Structure 1
Amino acid sequence: MSNYALTTMRSALFAIPLLLLAGCDIPGLGPTPQAIARENEAKAVGSACRHALRGLEDCYSLNPKSTKALVFAGWKEMDQYMRENKIEGTPSVITQHEKPARASAQDADIETELRPATQRNRS
Structure 2
Amino acid sequence: MSLSPILLQASEPGRKLLIISSLLLALSGCDAVQQKLGLEAPAAKLARDEAEGKAVGGACRQSGRAIEDCYSIYAWLPKSAIYEGWRDMDIYMRENKLQTVEPQLPPPQPPGTKKKKPAAPLAEETAAEAPVDQKAAAKH
> Which among 103, 106, 109 is matched to residue 94 of structure 1?
106
Q: Which residue of 2 aligns with 1:44?
A: 55
Q: Which residue of 2 aligns with 1:13?
A: none
| Aligned-residue RMSD, C-alpha | 3.1
- Taking the aligned partners of 1:74 and 1:82, their CA distance within structure 2 comes to 12
- Greater Cα radius of gyration, structure 1 or 2: 1
Task: State the TM-score, normalized to the length of structure 2.
Answer: 0.45
The letter of the residue matching 1:89 is: T
Runs of 4+ in 1 over 6 A off after TM superposition: none
Q: Which runs of 5+ in 1 are unaligned?
A: 1-30, 103-123
Q: Per the alignment, in what secondary structure is the counterpart of residue 53 of structure 1? A: coil
Shift of 1:94: 1.8
- Taking the aligned partners of 2:120 and 2:92, their CA distance within structure 1 comes to 46
2:54 corresponds to 1:35:
no
**For residues 19-60 of structure 1, what are the alpha-carbon distances to aligned partners after superposition, in whole Å with 9 as ceiling and x for unaligned?**
xxxxxxxxxxxx722221110000111000000100011101
Q: Which residue of 2 aligns with 1:106?
A: none
Shift of 1:98: 5.8
Task: State the TM-score, normalized to the length of structure 1.
Answer: 0.51
Higher relative contact order (CA 8 A, sep 6+): 1
State the number of aligned residues: 76
- Taking the aligned partners of 1:91 and 1:67, their CA distance within structure 2 comes to 24
Shift of 1:87: 1.0
Q: Which runs of 5+ in 2 are unaligned?
A: 1-41, 108-114, 122-140
Query: Equivalent pairs: percent with the same residue?
Result: 39
